Amino acid sequence: MTDVEIRAAVIEELGNIAPETDAATIDPDDDLREALDIDSLDFLNFLAALHKRLGVNVPESDYAKLLTVNGAAAYLAKAVAALPKHT
Amino acid sequence: MAEFRMPSLGADMEAGTLVEWLKHPGEKVHRGDIVAVVETDKGAIEVEIFWDGVMGRQLVTPNTKVPVGTPLAVIEGVAVEPTAPSQPLAAAKPAAPAPARKEARASAAPGGMRATPAARQAAAERGIALASVKGTGPGGAIVLADVEKVGAAPTLRIGLDLDKMRRAIAAAMAKSKREIPHYYLATDIDMARATAWLAATNAPRTPAERLLPAALTLKAVALALRKYPKFNGCYREPEGFVASGAIHIGTAISIRGGGLVSPAIHDCDRLSLDEMMARLRDLAARARDGRLRSSELADPTITVSSLGDRGVDSLYGVIYPPQIAIVGFGRVAAKPAVVDGNVAARPVMAATLAADHRVTDGHIGSLFLNAIADLLQEPDKL
């Protein structure tokens, strides 16, 4: 999966969590909680969706690294690359 | 025989619009079945039935606005008229989370497309081809909400009119401040044990299985209410305080764009923390999608509001009538505290109580808040 695809997945899942907003148009360095008006339950649902989609299980201690689109995309790109490869 | 009436879904509701029947005349209905969708100021509400019988003559057609209490349909085969389900504190319990709105009468349209009559009508009125609509009903059937999604402007949510919701909030809160003599209390709760327990519990879990602090605070409030039932119920003239035999916590859920609903999580004191979390997820998703159920709006016996996510230290709520109390939680923040004679940073959360002075006083209110604080010191027992 490419970095572009991972970023697209992040934006799509944010769109599913907060369909009234457009995650693609926010500043990728803005705090998602404020930019999209999402709360801790939304954020947990966002992480659950990414886990299901990308196989990355983000521990609570890393939550702060995924609070922006850029942060989430970078974290997930690294995590996806580190996942065991299926043969 | 019994009459199925337009329910009252809050002190501020005077009328509702029947949007759709989900049961046909002649169909069997069972207690807890969703039989109709009603549009109110709080959105499109799925209305449950509270007895077993057979759907008889339907007296109101879809898209008709009628006052609360208006007979909507006749239910046959009901021996005894049950307690009016529209009253808060109704004894009937809804089913647990989840299933999407039942649309048993979805039928195949030409071409094999399954769609409910309301969905077909809405599609025809809007010039939308059913083939272009993705169905989310049982078996992929197209339901009204699916058509509305296609036809609606992108910023609108199905069943939610934020202007109407604001008017409903205004009416309820003005009534509360006009009629209820509030008193307010606050206390700081040491959350060190709760946060440590939560971190340890969540560590081996996937995000979908994790708990949020709200699951703990809701359960703590529920258990404290068992000990202090004077905060669980409603106030009505001329009876005064009416205690509730069940603990149904109205959980404040904000709607993006401005809006607030506080639907009930039923029987909170009997739920495990995992069940509480599942109910919370389900309720928040449906609240923001405009798909709440009638019992969820009619049944809350107290409200809990949490604004810690927004960085708020504490909040002083306005009681939602006819309830008689609201508990508020702020953020968990590190604050200096004296521990074993030394000053140390501790994670602390402010808990507040706004309660009705016609029913209780500050003394018992403080005992209630302290009970919540004590329960949060033993999170493994919640």
Among candidates A20, A36, A41 on the partner chain, residue whose Cβ is nearest the Cβ of B281 = A41
Burial of B330 from C-beta contacts in 10 A (0-12 / 13-18 / 19+):
buried
- Contact predicate A44/B210, CB 8 Å: yes
CB contact under 8 A, A40 and B157: no
Please state the domain count of chain A.
1
User: How would you write the pLDDT of chain B (382 residues) with one tens digit per residue?
Assistant: 888 999 888 777 788 889 889 998 999 999 888 899 888 877 778 888 888 899 999 999 898 999 888 999 999 988 655 544 444 444 444 445 544 443 333 444 433 456 665 666 666 555 565 656 677 765 566 777 777 766 543 333 445 678 888 888 898 999 999 999 999 999 999 999 999 999 999 999 999 999 999 999 999 999 999 999 999 999 998 999 999 999 999 999 998 878 889 999 999 999 999 999 999 999 999 988 888 888 999 899 999 999 988 889 999 999 999 999 999 999 999 999 888 899 989 999 999 999 999 999 999 999 999 999 999 999 999 9
Searching chain A, which residue's CA lies closest to the CA of residue B213? A40
Give the C-alpha distances (Å, rounded to integers) separating B301 from B87, B192, B320: 11, 29, 10
Those residues whose C-beta lies under 8 Å from the C-beta of residue B262, and which sit 6 or more positions away, are: B250, B251, B252, B253, B300, B303, B305, B320
Measured between alpha carbons, how far is A35 from A22 in angstroms, rounded to an integer?
10
In a domain, A58, yes or no: yes
Name residues 303-332 of chain B within 8 A of A (Cβ). Answer: 309-310
| Contact call for B210 and A44, based on CB within 8 A | yes
Taking contacts as CB-CB distances below 8 angstroms, the residues of chain A near B155 are 20
ipTM above 0.85, yes or no: yes
Q: What is the pTM of this model?
A: 0.77
What is the distance between the alpha carbons of residues B111 and B98, in angstroms, rounded to a whole number? 30
* Segments forming the whole domain that contains residue A74: 3-82
Rg from Cα positions in chain A: 12
Which domains are seen in chain B, by residue range? 2-76 (2.40.50.100), 107-151 (4.10.320.10), 164-381 (3.30.559.10)
A78 assigned to some structural domain: yes
Nearest CA in chain B to A46: B207
Q: Do B207 and A18 touch (CB under 8 A)?
A: no
β-partners of residue B142 are B115
| CATH number (domain holding residue A47) | 1.10.1200.10
Contacts of A45 in chain B (CB under 8 A): 281, 285
Q: Is B214 close to A41, i.e. CB distance below 8 A? A: yes
HSE of B255, CA atoms in CB hemisphere, 13 A: 28
Partners of B73 in the β-ladder: B4, B58
- Among residues B349, B259, B338, B364, the alpha carbon closest in space to that of B311 is found at B349
Phi, psi at residue B193, to the nearest 5°? -65, -45
Inter-chain residue contact B309 with A39, CB threshold 8 Å: yes
> Is residue A26 assigned to a domain?
yes
Domain membership of residue A87 (yes or no) is: no
Shortest Cα–Cα distance, A71 to chain B (Å): 18
SS3 of residue B139 by DSSP: helix
